[in-house]
């Protein structure tokens, strides 16, 4: 993803402006107005109309906002949200490696599912869970998790997830581990292991499927087994 600003100022004026404001992206000079006429238009005095244009790698315009004044153009936060809505994960095919990528975003997960628990026989159960996971790098997520089990247990855990890319930047196989305390039924420490698949259908959202085994105290020789489906909100961290 490349950002450029274009004006009808000459090169020297643009360079001075960039130094004054510490602008790192390119400022281009459109002295004859050719770019303005093609993408945003000109006013009665021949000045470029202020605007924001998103252009994909094939040259097609994905979004265009034409303003009446310089200060009514999209701000940075609105622009990033517009990029998410306009291109989704299709914008990630190039060499982009920043907070825009799903792999670099904080995940707020909610999961719902069910399974079987061995306690005085084998019983069916349902689970509801949530987690806040922070990316350490492309391959590792860590954070706290909370899970409720219909037969009376509530687990407060720390989770670690190792991610193995399947499709570049948008889908991952996840190998997870959890360690924590069961706070509802007094059973003490718990531990778990999981295997999952996550797919980011948009830079801001993902879905995940997961199978997990949980041991809720030292005497649990047979773990609770379950499967969940969930959704994750992906938040920019930088």
Domain shared by 125 and 229, yes or no: yes
pLDDT of residue 59: 80
CATH code of the domain covering residue 54: 3.40.30.10
Q: How many residues belong to the chain?
A: 238
**CA dihedral angle for residue 230, residue 231, residue 235, residue 237, rounded to 10 degrees:** 30
Domain final residue, candidates 32, 58, 73 = 73
Same domain for 129 and 183, yes or no, is yes
Residue reference for tokens 């050719």:
34
Instruction: Give the range of the structural domain holding residue 138, as residue numbers without chain letter.
Output: 102-235
Please give the tally of structural domains in the chain: 2
Residue 5: the pLDDT is: 82
At residue 158, the pLDDT reads 96
pLDDT score of 93:
44
One domain, residues 117 and 206: yes
Cα 49 from chain centroid (whole Å): 34
Take residue 51 and report the two structure tokens written for it.
Answer: 């605007």
122 & 174 share domain:
yes
Is 81 part of any domain? no
Residues 126 and 61 in one domain: no
Tell whether 211 is covered by a domain. Answer: yes
Whether residue 40 contacts residue 49, with contact meaning beta carbons closer than 8 Å, is answered with yes
CA distances, 237 to each of 78, 104, 132 (Å): 16, 7, 13
> 97-123 burial, b if ≥16 CB within 10 A, otherwise e?
eeebbbbbbbbebebebbbebeeeeee
The domain that holds 213 is classified in CATH as 2.40.160.20
Cβ atoms of residues 49 and 42 within 8 Å: yes
Query: Can you tell me the distance from the alpha carbon of 1 to that of 176, in angstroms, rounded to the nearest whole number?
Result: 32
Residues of the chain with pLDDT under 70: 1, 69-71, 88-100, 118-121, 168-169, 184-187, 217-221, 237-238
Residues 15 and 119 in one domain: no
């Amino acid at each position: 993803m490349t950002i450029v600003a274009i004006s009808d100022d000459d090169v020297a004026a643009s360079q001075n402006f960039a130094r004054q404001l510490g602008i790192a992206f390119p400022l281009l000079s459109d002295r004859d107005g050719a770019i303005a006429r093609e993408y945003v238009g000109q006013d009665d005095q021949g000045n470029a109309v202020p605007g924001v244009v998103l252009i994909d790698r094939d040259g097609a315009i994905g979004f265009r906002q034409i303003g009446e004044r310089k200060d009514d153009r999209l701000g940075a936060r609105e622009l990033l949200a517009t990029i998410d809505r306009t291109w989704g994960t299709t914008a990630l095919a190039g060499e982009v490696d920043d907070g825009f990528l799903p792999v670099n975003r904080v995940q707020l997960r909610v999961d719902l599912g069910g399974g079987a628990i061995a306690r005085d026989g084998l019983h069916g159960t349902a689970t509801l869970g949530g987690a806040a996971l922070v990316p350490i790098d492309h391959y590792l997520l860590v954070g706290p998790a909370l899970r409720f089990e219909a037969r009376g247990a509530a687990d407060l855990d720390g989770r670690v997830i190792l991610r193995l890319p399947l499709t570049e930047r948008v889908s991952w196989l996840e190998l997870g581990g959890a360690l924590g305390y069961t706070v509802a039924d007094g059973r003490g420490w718990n531990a778990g292991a999981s295997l999952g698949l996550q797919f980011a259908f948009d830079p801001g959202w993902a879905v995940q499927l997961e199978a997990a085994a949980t041991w809720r105290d030292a005497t649990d020789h047979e773990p609770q087994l379950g499967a969940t489906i969930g959704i994750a909100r992906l938040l920019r961290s930088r």
